[in-house]
Amino acid sequence: MFAPELLILLNMNTITIPRERYYLITVKATHSQLFQVRAEKFAFLNIWRIYTGEIFKTCSYVIVQGTFKAIVKIKKTNLSPVTLENELKSILKLKMLGIFTDDLVELMSDHLNISELFTEKECIYTCFDIHVLPQQSGLATDYRTYPFSSYQALTSNRETLLDKVSVYHWFGSRHRFALFHQAYYGWIQPGNTTTQASTPNSFVSP
């Protein structure tokens, strides 16, 4: 049985987020050559941290082979999705060359996807789906120990550039963030193909 406080969180209806704007950003290639080695993952994350900080704060993220996903909070609430997309494409094209081949950079730009998250419930489930992606993709036996994900940073006390305040606000606290992931952990074990934790607009698969 789930704890009463967690049941409230799991069963909550659509809740609007009136003042902040959150987006799911997906960067991917149509084949698996992207993010094949650790050095590429580290380089991408470093560029992401350096050049996106003036546009938004990253709440959670994951990198798996072929795909990067992140939830971000826009710093300027009047920033349009089109402007956000153009700024991200500019970063990809100008800063990623030399790390990735021209073809891969072009593919990342062409397949950049930005989706606004309108409710806290969407943020919660999308955050969970991001964190379990390595295990769902067969890249980790336990998503909680996967190194190229925000999960460990969000469950620790250490300083980070991640927007922990927003994430803990969605879940209620750091403890409830971990509790939520733990409660759903059994549903993503090997052999269990039911993704009950996902919303209809699921982001479990790359």
Per-residue pLDDT of the chain (206 residues; tens, 9 = 90+): 445 445 445 555 445 444 799 999 999 886 667 898 899 999 999 999 999 999 999 999 999 999 999 999 999 878 889 999 999 999 999 999 888 888 889 989 999 999 999 999 999 999 999 999 999 888 998 999 999 999 999 999 989 999 999 999 999 999 999 999 988 766 655 555 444 433 333 222 22
Domain boundaries, the chain: 4-188
Which three-class secondary structure state does DSSP give residue 65? coil
| pLDDT for res 16 | 47
Query: Distance of alpha carbon 84 from its chain centroid, rounded?
Result: 17
| pLDDT for res 75 | 92
pTM: 0.82
CATH code, 4-188: 3.30.70.1290
What is the DSSP secondary-structure string of 128-165? Answer: HHHHHHHHHTTS-S-GGG-SSBSHHHHTSSS--SS-HH
